[in-house]
Amino acid sequence: MSSRIKVSYWEAVNLSDREPVRESLRESLREVMPFDVVIVGAGPAGLSTACKLAQLCQDHETSLDICVIEKGSEIGAHILSGAVLEASALDELFPDWHNMQAPVKVPVTDDEVHLLTSSASSIKLPSFLVPPALHNSGNYVISLGNLCRWLGEQAESLGVQLFTGFTAAEILYNDDDQVIGIATGDMGRDKNGNEKGNFEEGYELHARYTVFAEGCRGHLGKELIEKYDLDKGKAPQHYGIGIKELWEVPAEAHSPGKVFHGVGWPLGLGKTTGGSFLYHLENNEVSVGLITDLNYSNPWLSPFDEFQRLKQHPAIRSVLSGGKRLSYGARALVKGGIQSLPNLVFPGGLLAGDNAGFLNFLKLKGSHTAMKSGMLAAESIYAALMGGGAEIANDNGVLESYQDNINTSSIARELYAARNVGPAMHKFGTLLGSAFAFIDQVIFRGKLPFTLKDMVPDHAALKRAEDCPRISYPAPDNEISFDKLSSVYISNTNHEEDQPCHLKLIDAETPTGFNLAEYDEPAQRYCPAGVYEIVRSDTKTRFQINAQNCVHCKTCDIKDPTQNIVWTAPEGGGGPNYPNM
Ligand SMILES: Cc1cc2nc3c(=O)[nH]c(=O)nc-3n(C[C@H](O)[C@H](O)[C@H](O)COP(=O)(O)OP(=O)(O)OC[C@H]3O[C@@H](n4cnc5c(N)ncnc54)[C@H](O)[C@@H]3O)c2cc1C
Ligand code: SF4
């Protein structure tokens, strides 16, 4: 998807040259807003980039035009995480955060890992058997959505412009294939693409550097990785789908700061891997979730229904019983580790946070690495814009110093130490993989002299439906377990219905013509929002897409076995409206 505009060679790194595009050469009629730096995505990565850049300007009494563009209706609306926060990056970005009303108030008080051996039994693992990276002493139980809201306030007070409810829908390139910004999506097109009465054309946000911080499986990040071949020579990226609910539970079941992690039930101890969590926040709230690794092979598996089964385990049910479900949501997470990290820089821009893949799967934490990567990005961009020279960015606007700084950072060190655990789980399954993790992490401290890789992309891991056992899931009891539609309802998901479908099929016949026979069309089950349905009548079998229910988790884009489904951006502001997820 290339822009229609033409610009001459962009001589980037000079503060006196604020206007990156020569107006005389533009052919597009879209309105243009020039910035020094455009940041796509107001998650921890994007907001930390913005705050750090603005702080550097303040420290040096300079100024830069910085904007952050966010597709959620407000900051935090599309943020879904656990979350236990390792505060290292926050300490660095705002050393005084304790006195700044940051929503980081619940220190971890109790930290347990359980092996869920069956639907009714579990064993609490002694602390010495748990890899040190999974210990949570010194961390905080938070709502990442609320932390992002707070980071947004800090960014705004530092002079950053925040545009919420706008999607970065298109990457703008010049004739030399340098990124020169993004275009927001049009608003007010009907489902056939025609302009409605309220039509508004998208804007072009031009920038001297564009930071892509869209989170896991960013749709622009995907385009950039492909265009610039950023993943050449890397292992395929791997993913999980995290399904989460927020509950208010009876006071006697609540223990602020308690962190529970589970492995085993309901996914079992074999090759279908993942893990569960139950975190006690403040105000009698707990967040409960299940992560199912997306390399699973049985197309009958439904991550949503596995999550419903998880909640029936006595270890979880005992906390939720008598409580009230407040919110529901789902989000893919990136877990390939350092083996799968693409190159991070290209002419005119860079990848930060989970759009690159900095989540530490062993720790199940990516917020601190996302923030740190944003801060390192800001330092490199600031130095380049202030005329830092060829050691910062080459003539083509490639910020080589960002790549170098990441390679020698705490992020690279922790991802390197954790690198073998994910592939070992994929190769050996949960039980043997956990034994390997113990040896790798507790005995060798992540220093084994080899690196395992899983070279099979997640979408290619599915087996034929007829070769796999069917899984029958119990009906929801509507107390602890629920169906998809009532769940999506409390994610407050909303899309304008009369707009072009944002879930594109490369070939419209593949779902019914191939996937159905081969895999019983797995989209019916892997989508946690009931977006995809096979509808049968006497004369026809068709694939229905209920795009208005989409919670933007990106699982279909990842797991569709023929990579036939492409997630694109709906109108800005559409999607879930998560409260404190
Ligand atoms: C279930 C689950 C549990 C987790 N638990 C933990 C935990 O306990 N601790 C921890 O540290 N980490 C945890 N993580 C990981 C953590 O949430 C991520 O690593 C972190 O959120 C990554 O931050 P990010 O800024 O890169 O991306 P995100 O947080 O995903 O933010 C990206 C933002 O960009 C916006 N966006 C995307 N595309 C566009 C576009 N084209 N235009 C405009 N806006 C766009 C999105 O709406 C979103 O607001 C968990 C993740 C999941 C899914
Ligand atoms: S349609 Fe795709 S992105 Fe949307 S909720 Fe379903 S799986 Fe997730």
Residue 133 lies in a domain: no
pLDDT bin (cut points 50, 70, 90) of residue 302 is very high
- If asked whether residues 152 and 227 sit together in one domain, one would say yes
Measured distance CA(490)–CA(328) in Å, rounded? 6
Indicate the residue among 456, 482, 505 that finishes a domain.
456
- If asked whether residues 76 and 156 sit together in one domain, one would say yes
The model's pTM is 0.95
Kindly tell me the burial class for residue 447, based on how many C-beta atoms sit within 10 Å of its own C-beta (0-12, 13-18, 19 or more). exposed
- If asked whether residues 76 and 153 sit together in one domain, one would say yes
Measured distance CA(83)–CA(89) in Å, rounded? 15
Residue 101 lies in a domain: no
Q: In sequence order, what are the residues at sequence separation of 6 or more whose Cβ sits closer than 8 angstroms to the Cβ of residue 444? A: none
- If asked whether residues 346 and 450 sit together in one domain, one would say no
Ligand 1 within 6 A of CB of 384: no
Residue 95 lies in a domain: no
What the block records as the tokens of 429 is 């399954």
For residue range 509-524, what is the model confidence (pLDDT) as tens digits? 999 999 999 999 999 9
How far away, in angstroms, is 576 Cα from ligand 2 center?
11
How far away, in angstroms, is 226 Cα from ligand 1 center?
21
Measured distance CA(393)–CA(318) in Å, rounded? 56
How far away, in angstroms, is 552 Cα from ligand 2 center?
5
- If asked whether residues 358 and 431 sit together in one domain, one would say no
Q: Whose CA is nearest to atom 41 of ligand 1?
A: 168
User: Which ligand 1 atom is nearest residue 47's CA?
Assistant: 25
- If asked whether residues 444 and 376 sit together in one domain, one would say no
pLDDT bin (cut points 50, 70, 90) of residue 389 is confident
Measured distance CA(472)–CA(29) in Å, rounded? 55
Ligand 2 within 6 A of CB of 523: no
- If asked whether residues 430 and 387 sit together in one domain, one would say no
- If asked whether residues 347 and 448 sit together in one domain, one would say no
For residue range 476-503, what is the model confidence (pLDDT) as tens digits? 999 999 999 999 999 999 999 999 999 9
Residue 21: pLDDT above 60?
A: no
CATH number at residue 226: 3.50.50.60
Residue 36 lies in a domain: yes
Q: For a ligand 1 pocket test, name from 134, 306, 333 the mutation site with the most ligand atoms within 8 angstroms of its C-beta.
A: 333
Residue 355 lies in a domain: yes
How far away, in angstroms, is 319 Cα from ligand 1 center?
27
Q: Which ligand is nearest to the CA of 332?
A: 1
Measured distance CA(313)–CA(50) in Å, rounded? 42
For residue range 135-177, what is the model confidence (pLDDT) as tens digits? 999 999 999 999 999 999 999 999 999 999 999 999 999 999 9
What the block records as the tokens of 247 is 């509950």
Rg (CA), the chain: 23
Measured distance CA(125)–CA(130) in Å, rounded? 7
pLDDT bin (cut points 50, 70, 90) of residue 23 is very low
Task: Quote the pLDDT of residue 27.
Answer: 54
Ligand 1 within 6 A of CB of 481: no
Q: Which ligand is nearest to the CA of 555?
A: 2
493 and 554 in contact (C-beta within 8 Å)?
Answer: no
How far away, in angstroms, is 405 Cα from ligand 1 center?
22
For 303, list phi and psi in degrees, rounded to 5.
Answer: -55, -35
The structural domain count of the chain equals: 2
Q: In sequence order, what are the residues at sequence separation of 6 or more whose Cβ sits closer than 8 angstroms to the Cβ of residue 526? A: 241, 294, 301, 302, 303, 555, 556, 559
Number of Cβ within 10 Å of residue 473's Cβ equals 16
Query: Domain range for residue 167?
Result: 28-80+148-234+339-416
Q: Once rounded to an integer, what is the mean pLDDT over residues 295-306?
A: 98
Residue 22: pLDDT above 70?
A: no
Percent of the chain with pLDDT over 90: 92
Measured distance CA(169)–CA(445) in Å, rounded? 43
Q: Residue 81: helix, strand or coil by DSSP?
A: coil
How far away, in angstroms, is 117 Cα from ligand 1 center?
31
- If asked whether residues 408 and 426 sit together in one domain, one would say no
- If asked whether residues 395 and 433 sit together in one domain, one would say no
C-alpha angle with apex 239: 405 to 376, nearest 5 degrees? 15
